[in-house]
Homo-oligomer: A and B are copies of this chain.
Amino acid sequence: MNFCSHCGQPVRFDIPEMDNRPRYLCDQCGTIHYQNPRLITGTLPVAPDGRILLCKRAIEPRLGYWTLPAGFMENGETTVEGALRETVEESCVDGRNPTLLSMISLPEFDQVHVFYRVDMPNYEFDTTPESSVVDLFEAGDIPWEEIAFRTVSATLRHFLEHIEADPVPVLNTAVFRHRR
Contacts and interface: CB of A to CB of B under 8 A. Distances in A.
A96 interface: no
Interface string A1-33: 111111111110000001001001000000001
Nearest to A99: B172
Contacts of A5: 1-5, 11, 24, 33
Contacts of A21: 74
A48 interface: no
Interface stretch (A61-69, A75-83, A140-148, A156-164): A75-83
Given A4-B3, A8-B3, A174 B78 contact: yes
A121 interface: no
Contacts of A6: 1-3
A100 interface: yes
A36 B170 contact: no
Contact of A107 (B35, B77, B177): B77
Interface in A94-138: 100, 103, 105, 107-108, 110, 112, 114, 129
A37 B75 contact: yes
Contacts of A35: 75
Nearest to A24: B5
Interface of A: 1-11, 18, 21, 24, 33-39, 72-81, 100, 103, 105, 107-108, 110, 112, 114, 129, 167, 169-170, 172, 174, 177, 180
